[in-house]
Every structure is written in C-alpha cells, then in structure tokens.
Structure 1
Amino acid sequence: MRASRLPGSLACFLALALAAAGCGLSGGSDDGEATAGGCKVDKANVGSGALTGDVKGDITFQTTNLKKDFGDYFNGVIAAFEKEHPGTEVKWIDDPGDATFTQRLVADAQGCTLPDVVNINVNTAIALTKNGYLIDLDKKAPDAGEPFVPALWKSSLYADASGTKVHSVLPWYSGGIVQTYNTELMKKAGLDPAKPPTTVLGLFADAEKVAKASGGKYHAFLANPHLRIPADWQQMGIKVFSADGKSFTFADDPRTVQWVEAMTKLYKAGGMPRDSLSSTQDPANVYGQGKLVYGPTNPNFLRFIQQNNPTVYKKTGVARFMLDDLGHTVGAPQYIGTASTSKNAVTALAFARFLTNAKNQLEWAKDPNVVIFPSTTASLDDPFFQSVKGTDPFAEARKIVASDRKTATADEIALTPGELNAISAQIQLAMQGKKSAEDALKDAQAKGNELIEQGS
C-alpha cells in the first residue's frame, strides 16, 4: 500500500529535524522512563503490553477546522465522556487546517507538545507514525479494531521507524464516492440512465456517444487529466508505484496506454470542452449549468447542486462508483491518533475510542449540516443508512455509499502537486496529438521518478 506521499518540502523538513532529534522508540530506564520520537515518555506508552490503568485526569483534544460548525456536537461528546469517567477533563482546541498543518503538528511533536488526542489526515499519520509519535495500537490496544469495518481497518496501516506497518490511528469519517450524471442529457445522447458504466474505459465509450450526439452543446466531462489521475488508474488495477513506493511504474502497464488513447480520442471528438484541457475550473459549477453529463463523485456535491441548481438536481442520477478491476473503492478517511508522548495515555486512548465508537459516529453522521460516512460496522448497519427514505439524488447517494463503505479501503493513492503537474503535462501533449500515448507515458514516468529522487 502506498498512500499519499509527503511533499518534498515536508520530507526535507522532517529529515533535517529528525537528524538532530533522533526518531522512533527506545526502551525504558529503571525509573520507568522511555523515549518516543526523542521525547521522554512513560515506559507504559511504548514497547509491548497493553495500556492499563484508571481513566482520569486532564487531556487535550485537537480537531481540524470543526469547532465553528460542530461545536455543539463535540461539546456534547466531551461532556458525555467526562460524565462517564468522573475526574477527567478534556480541553478541546481546533486547528484551522491550512496548508502548513502537518508541518506545525510535526513541530509540536518534536517539541514533545503533541496534543494527547489529535484529528489527522493520511499525510500527517504517515509522518507521525514513522517517527514514533503515535501509540502503536496493535501493542497497546489489541482489540481497538473490532468496531471498524474490516476492510478499512485492515488497510489503515502505516510504517513505523523500523518500516513495520502498524495500526497507529483509529479510522473516523470519510466522504464517500458515487457516480453522478444528468439523466436528461444521457437520454439525449442515446444512453440509458439505468445502466451507468461499470468500468473506466466503459465510461469513455459512453462519453464518445455523448460527443457524437451533443454537437458541442454539452460534454461528457472536463478534459484536464488532473481530475482523473491517479484515481482512474487505481480503479483499473494499474500499479502506479513500485512495491516499495520509490518509483513510478504506471507506464509499464498497457492499460495506461489504453487510458491515454481513450482520453485523446474523446478530446478530439469533442467529448470534453476544448478550453478545459489545462484549466482549473470547477466541474461542479459546469455541471450545475447543465453542460456536463457526468458530475463530481463526492456526495457533498449533490448538496451544492440541490441548493444552487435545483432544476439540474432533479435531473441528476446517482449510481455506485465504477469498481472496475480493483473490485472496491478507495478513499483515505480522517483519523484519530493518540500521542505516544501523552502524560495521560490511558485517558487519551479511552477518549479516542469513545469519540470514534459507533454511537458517536452515527450521531454526527445524522447532522443535516454534514455529509459524512462513519467507519464502524454498527453505524453503517443503522436504519439511518440502511432504510433511507426518499428517492432524491442525495438519499440514493447515502444508501449507495453506506453499502460501499463495507468494502472500501483506506489505501488511496495520491500524488504530490509536482508529480501531478509533471505527469498531467505529458498526457496533455498526447491529447493534443503532439506525442504518442506510449511516449507521453514514458516521459511522464521519467519526470515523475526524477521528482521522487529529488524529494519533491
């Protein structure tokens, strides 16, 4: 599994800091102390043996840009935990979650001030796990994975300092993925809205029919490869990276050539707007104008269309996302981690598990102001997801994603901005007829590997 890699600037930042501070875990002394990421910690936080002890005392809990909209929910969860465990106090802080989030959090960790319980994304989980700043749940809470969907838990693994994959985080919420499409435009193109594509290349075949029927009045989807890679490739079962994640391999698979040739053919046929090859326009806005057959895949997009383009919303169909050769969907959830540097790790881990339990996840998912899907089996089995009332697009999406979450994994592949730009630039040349698909992919892979070697 290779989840999103750290951007080069962050990788360098970590390398320099860790060269000075040391990393990983080390055994304890006779006085019960050990180290984690260069910080002195309680010996019970590292090594073998489950965490045990009384749940009491103060901890700090950090979320990412959630307090403004969901203060009542989190304050309620905190109050319930403190009531269940008298003598505890949870101090809640909320980070704005901007572009420097991971750098700041890693800096906190290196300063031995990482919050006891922290809401993190994949990139941050990778960095903190590698450097020993998160508790190894396999050792400290062997039953921690029981509430979660098995496929999601099994794939939520990140390498520690020794390179061993461990469970260092609890899966929390995710956004889900579906197919969305304008049923009226599909019918105009001679397509059956009841039979959406089930493969990526099947989507391109349907899109060719759109190109032939539309006369340029509407299109299948936008042309920029940024919007489709590497997600399309992963669903097609193409190995984007080598097993060790140190080099690109996508150009070695003939199916990638098929994909580029299909994109090129569709672009030349007018299935994509000519001016969208390198543009950064939002497909949600173009779809909302009634100019695209296929819309974005995030269910939250449906709320946007419902509020801003109700006429198009009524024409929108929803179907399960294309499973293709992969056989399931992927999508990195938000995570909850417990700091190995916590001075009150027993209480911190107890709160992390309380926050992510089925009851609390379901309660938040029911909030009408949020479009999220829980990570626990019991939450997804609740009638809220399994007996959804209504047949409008959003209701359909909720039913589909709830079912999809049972097999989805967390091992989503992502590219750094530099890698995505370099690869897309070569594919754009192929789509313009300036290079063959084979040459474009070989050049894209070479440029991508150069960036990996440079750490950017």
Structure 2
Amino acid sequence: MPISRRATAAILPLLLSSMALTSCNGDDGGGGSRPDGAIEGEIRFQTWNLRANFKDYFNGLVDAFEEKYPDVKVTWLDQPAENYAEKLSADAGSGNLPDVVNVSPDLAHPLAKAGVLMNLDQEKASSRFRSEYTPEAWKGNALPGLDGTYAFPWYLNTGPMFYNKALFRKAGLDPAKPPHTYDALFSAADTMASTSGGTVATLAGTPSIEDFGRYGVTLMNDDATAFTYNESQGVELLTRYKKLYDKGGLDGQALTNTPEKAGQKFLEQKVAMNPGSAHDLETFKRDAPSLYKNLGITEAPNNTGKPNMYVMGLAVKENSEHKAAAIAFAHFITNRKNQESFAHKVAIFPSTKGSLDKPYWTKDDGTDEGRVRVASAKLLKGAVNYTPVVMSDEMKTVLQNEVAKALQGKKSPKKALDDAVAQSNQLLQQG
C-alpha cells in the first residue's frame, strides 16, 4: 500500500505525444456533463494497490454510494504499485484514464500539466467542498506552477523520530528534551560523538531533500521550473553534515546505509536517533527489550516549525463523460465519515477538518500502535510536503551522490550542490 510519497519518472512527454494521436477520438473536450449536472452514469474508480487488503471495505463504499445515487454505476479498478505512473500515463494518453484516480502529488503533476485532470479550485462543483478538509491537506495537493489543486485530499501520513533515551543519558543529554531544531540536533550529535569516543553516532543517514526543506532551504523557484537548494542555507546544511561526519556524529556507513540498515543500527543501539513506525516497536520489543524500555518518540528536527507530511488524493478526469457523478464519488470517498473509517483500518490519518481532534488520535490507549498514532497525529497539524512534486527518483539519486562526494571530501559542499542542481535542472528540462 503506497503510504509514503512515491517519486516517479517524468511522464509528460509520453502523455503529450499520446494525446496528440488521440485528440480526434470524438470527445468534445467539455467533459460531456449534462447541463443540469445530474449525478448519473457509469464511472470508473481506480486505486493504487489497495484491493488485496481492503476489498470488502471498498466494495462496501461503492455499494453505499450506488444506494445513495441509484442512477450511478461505479466500476472499481485497482492497479499494482509497480509501474503505476506508466500505467496512468498510458491510460491518459489513450483517453482511457478512469473517471476517479488515486494519485499522489508527484503522479498528479504530469497529468495536470497535460490538461487531463480537473482543477478543483476552478470547478465550482468541487471547490465548494474545500472547507471540509484541513488547509494543510488541501495545500498538499496543490501543484506549483499550475495554479490550483488537482485532487481531493485523501489520507495523510507522517513518521515520528525514535530516539534512545539511555544513550542520551549516557552522553549527559536530557532525554526529556530531544532536539527539535537543527542547531539542537548538531549540538547533541557533537556531544554524543565526543562522550562515546566516536562509537555512537546520532544519525545513520545522509541528508535528503526533505532535510534541506526542514532546514529552511528554498528548494525550487516559485513555478517549479528550477531547483535552488544550492542556495547559501543549503550549503550551510551540507557543511554542517560534513563536520558531523568527520567527528563521528554521523554513522561511518551513512553513505551506503539503506533505511533497513539504518534501522538495524538503531536497533543495535549504535545510533541514537532514527525515523520509524508502529511496526518497528514490535521488533524492538521482541529483539531489543532494553531499547524498547528506553524508547523516546519525537518529531524530526526542523527549523520551520512545520513537520513533513505525505499526502494522497483522488483526482477527477477533466473530460469525464459524467463529471458530476465523478466529483460526487471522489468527495464521498474522502468525506469525513469514510476517511475516519479507513484510518481505523490502517495506520494512516484522515485529511478532513476536525478528525484528528478525536480521542482515537489524541489519547494513547496503551498499545504500541496507539503510542505512535497519537505522536504522529500531533505532527500533522501545520505539516507540509517538503519533497518537490517534480523531483524524480533519478534527481534524488543525483543529490544523494553529490552529497556523498561532499562528505567524503571529494568536492566542497557548494560545488557538490551546484553540480546536483545543474544535473537535476537539466533532467527537469528534458522531462
């Protein structure tokens, strides 16, 4: 299930070329909606790798909607996670995109840029629902450079930062006050490295684009046509990571650590802080009881006052033959009742206004899941999606490689970031 944001390759060229070949397929381009906006007709609804675990849930939703609107017939489709972006591109190019599709902002961007998705802010039938969702969720589905929101906010996710209270105490740090800013983080990491003789690092991974965002770096220009994270603050952050790496505050294998390896280092208590989830708590309880006993949960450090957030949405096809029905269905799936119901079945969070104020997300019920759920829910208020929607996996790899060169001393932090931005901007232009 695609809980976290999935970066995708640029698919706009394929979309545009395919659409040029199919522009004469008889569609009038006006969406085919009846003048009176009647909620009727046959629509197709496509999710992203959800059928295996939630078949009964979604079948029940479809049945409930059809009971409410007896003149509508909904066909539910589900696609596997693998090659989902390419599937969307091919369907859009051939004119076969379903009426309502499950997308993350990075998947929505090329489709919206090609004119395939409806702009909710410009469609009166959909914009009137805006007040039902949190401002953070609505903004999270807005697309830079396209002046609008192109998907109904659906479920959200974020991840807490785990920290080892015992290692904090041993280093003379207050375990009740984990670092919430990068200044505090680097200070704690210096202390941890010094008091342990370099045997205990604070972090296990190199900085990602999210770290640059949380540090306060301007990642792109306003219309998302060029990366800018090589600005002075970006250079400052990488320079601080370089010093941390040299002192042993960053794990010695950070350049090659995968999330799994980083998690293992934390479990072995060789690293003091690491992001995680409720699933990790079960592992800690079983394999590292001393860690579990001393486990702290906090937010990832940031200088902006805004934690990171992953968002998912439901988009409506711009030229749907039954747009009124498609809008009604997308809103039905993402309304408060149905979002809260779904969030009780899996570790996600509703994007509807007021939902996260309920006891389920504010009161710890004593379970591991509840402990993480409550801690994570607190982080979603005011959270933003830091990763640019146009940043592909290839661009992320470019940044990762250049960061590694800076940490190894092969390039200065400024040179590394200048090169990363130049390569990524070239890829962006090619896309």
Q: Report the TM-score range of the alignment, normalised by the length of the smaller protein.
A: 0.7 to 0.9
Count of paired positions: 422
Q: In the alignment, does 2:32 pair up with 1:42? A: yes
Alpha carbons of 1:18 and 1:56: their partners in 2 closer, same or farther (altered >3 Å)? Answer: closer
Q: Distance in 2 between matches of 1:73 and 1:332?
A: 23
Q: Which residue of 2 aligns with 1:448?
A: 424
Match of 2:372 among 386, 397, 403: 397
Structure 2 residue aligned with 1:121, among 67, 82, 104? 104
Query: What is the alpha-carbon distance in structure 2 between the residues aligned to residue 307 and residue 171 of structure 1?
Result: 37
1:350 is matched with 328
2:17 alignment counterpart:
16
**Residue 134 of structure 2 corresponds to residue 149 of structure 1:** yes
Displacement, 1:148?
Answer: 0.4
The Cα shift of 1:170 comes to 0.5
Q: Compared with structure 1, are the counterparts of its residues 57 and 251 closer, same or farther at alpha carbon in structure 2 (3 Å cutoff)?
A: closer
1:437 correspondence with 2:419: no
Distance 1:297 1:333 in 2: 18
| Deviation, structure 1 residue 383 | 1.8
Matched, 1:236 2:211: no
Q: 1:64 deviation in Å?
A: 0.8
Query: Is 1:59 aligned with 2:43?
Result: yes
1: CA distance between counterparts of 2:78 and 2:17? 28
User: 1:437 Cα shift?
Assistant: 2.5
Match of 1:426 in 2: 402
Assess, with a 3 A threshold, how the Cα gap between structure 1 residues 402 and 276 changes in structure 2: closer, same or farther.
closer
CA-to-aligned-CA distance 1:123-147 (integer Å, 9 cap, x gap): 2211221222222323232212121
Assess, with a 3 A threshold, how the Cα gap between structure 1 residues 381 and 266 changes in structure 2: closer, same or farther: same
TM-superposed deviation, 1:262: 1.7
Partner of 2:72: 88
Residues 136 and 168, structure 1, Cα contact 8 Å, conserved in 2: yes
Deviating runs (4+, > 6 A) in structure 1? none
In structure 2, the partner of 1:192 is 174
The residue number in structure 2 matching 1:328 is: 306
Using the TM superposition, name which of 243-252 and 409-418 deviates more.
409-418
1:264 aligned onto 2:208: no
Deviation at residue 389 of structure 1 after TM alignment: 2.5
Residues 288-342 of structure 1, C-alpha deviations (whole Å, 9 max, x = no match) = 2332211115566445545665553332211133341x22123231111122232
Shift of the 340–373 alpha-carbon distance from structure 1 to 2, 3 Å rule, reads same
Superposed CA offset, 1:39-74 (max 9, x none): xx4155xxxxxx854434432221111111122222
CA contact (8 A) 2:6 2:106 kept: yes
Compute the RMSD of aligned alpha carbons: 2.8
Give, in angstroms, the shift of residue 379 of structure 1: 1.8
Q: CA deviation at 1:21?
A: 4.8
Identify the residue that residue 70 of structure 1 maps to in structure 2: 54
- Change in Cα spacing, 1:246 to 1:342, as seen in structure 2 (3 Å) is closer
Q: Which amino acid in the other structure matches residue 118 of structure 1?
A: V
Asked if the contact 1:128/1:134 (under 8 Å) is kept, the reply is yes
Q: Look up the equivalent residue of 1:176 and give its one-letter code.
A: T
Is 1:7 the counterpart of 2:9 in the alignment?
Answer: yes
Contact 1:62 1:94 in 2 (8 A): yes
Asked whether the equivalents of residues 365 and 374 of structure 1 are also in contact (C-alpha less than 8 Å), the reply is: yes
Whether contact under 8 Å (1:221, 1:271) holds in the other structure is yes
1:378 equivalent to 2:354? Answer: yes
- CA distance in structure 1 between the partners assigned to 2:395 and 2:164 by the alignment: 32
Q: Secondary structure at the match of 2:305?
A: coil
Q: In the alignment, residue 378 of structure 2 is paired with which amino acid? A: S
Point out the more displaced range, 214-223 or 189-198: 214-223
Give the distance between the partners of 1:319 and 1:307, measured in 2 at CA: 22
Question: What is aligned with 1:209?
Answer: 191
Report the CA distance between 1:256 and its aligned residue: 2.1
SS at match of 1:93: strand
One-letter code aligned to 1:395: G
In structure 2, stretches of 5+ residues that fail to align are none
CA distance in 2: counterparts of 1:152 and 1:89, whole angstroms: 29
| CA 52–332 in structure 1, closer or farther in 2 if over 3 Å, else same | farther
- 1:100-142 residue CA offsets vs partner (Å, 9 max, x unmatched): 2112112112222211221112222112212222223232322
